[in-house]
Amino acid sequence: MRYSVSHITTLQYAAPVRLAQFNARLRPAAWPGQTLGDYLLTVDPQPAQVLEREGGYYINEARFSLHDPISELQIESRFTVEKEPLPFFVTDSAGPGLADLRERAMQKPDLSALGPASYSFASPIAVPERDIAMWSSGFLSESMPVVEAGRALMAAIHQQFAYESGATVADTPPIEAFRARHGVCQDFSHIMIIAARAHGIPAAYVSGYLRTLPPPGKERLVGADAMHAWVNLWCGDDLGWIGFDPTNNILADTDHIFIGMGRDYTDVAPLDGTFRGSSQQTMIFSVDVAPLD
């Protein structure tokens, strides 16, 4: 399956701001089963400098600066990508048990951005929460194979939590969404990460896109898509990282377009930055994920 992806972000300020610096994390990182074609990042007004680099975790980052005052900024990311199905069928019995997995992860001498150790401990948003750990203990056990555990955790979130757009914001603590039993993909991913780590499963937050289908009889609306989030669980050396989407209760496959992964949202936020001037701003998104096949 091939896709064309367009992501336009427009920032509007109540008064001109100056000395603005931004980090855009929109270029897909290399990932098994995914091949990036053309990629173009456009910034208007044109920045003084754009520095492409690898982020702190498994994410590509473009840092750019604007020295002159601006009242509006538009960042547009466009690319094509080809997705291939998983090369194997993932059964519930696949992978080591949780007790064995924890030991393997701690003994693995890999401190890279893809090593399990980087995703085994607390992070800025995904902090340990006793209530989440106790809740997940009701259906996870030390002897359970990791894939079965991942599916059980994913299904529990999908069944027990309501998707409610606008119920939370980017910095809502996961425990608030957990107690309210509602949220969006970001909240569900953070809850799953906290629960997984509580049981010794290395868990990473994935930023990306999801192909969406229009209701029967309706045309697909251009620009009406959005970024998506899911969870990668490290399932041992043989299986590696497998994506679990708790919002939709499915494994990540050809409909999921991988951008990057980090410990939580803070590592892979699509855009952040600093500037001098008014703090009042409006952010407008237009995202389009169009199949080419």
Domain 98-268 CATH class label:
alpha beta
- 8, 283 contact by CB (below 8 A): no
d(CA 13, CA 107) in angstroms, rounded, equals 50
Q: What is the dihedral of CA 63, 69, 274, 74, to 10 degrees?
A: -60
**pLDDT tens digits, one per residue of 215-244:** 777 766 565 689 999 999 999 999 999 999
Q: Which residues of the chain have pLDDT under 70?
A: 219-224, 279
Strands annotated E in the chain: 2-24, 34-44, 49-54, 60-66, 70-83, 162-163, 182-183, 203-210, 227-234, 241-245, 250-251, 256-262, 271-276, 281-291
- Tokens 């951008």 belong to 259
- Rounded to whole angstroms, the Cα distance separating 223 from 81 reads 18
CA distance 188 to 245: 9
The residue with tokens 């897909």 is 28
Instruction: Specify the pairing of strand 227-234 against strand 241-245.
Output: antiparallel
Annotated domain spans of the chain? 2-84+269-291, 98-268
Q: Is 223 left (phi over 0), alpha (psi -120 to 50) or beta?
A: left
State in Å, rounded, how far the first CA of the chain is from the last one.
Answer: 6
Instruction: Give the pLDDT confidence score for residue 122 in this predicted structure.
Output: 97
User: Which pLDDT value is given to residue 224?
Assistant: 62
Provide the 10 A C-beta neighbour count for residue 249.
14
Query: Hey, do 2-84+269-291 and 98-268 end up sharing a CATH topology, with the first three levels equal?
Result: no
Q: How far apart are CA 45 and CA 43, in angstroms?
A: 6
Task: List, in order, residues 6 or more apart from 67 with CB less than 8 Å away.
Answer: 18, 19, 48
Task: Give me the CATH topology for the region 2-84+269-291.
Answer: Immunoglobulin-like (2.60.40)
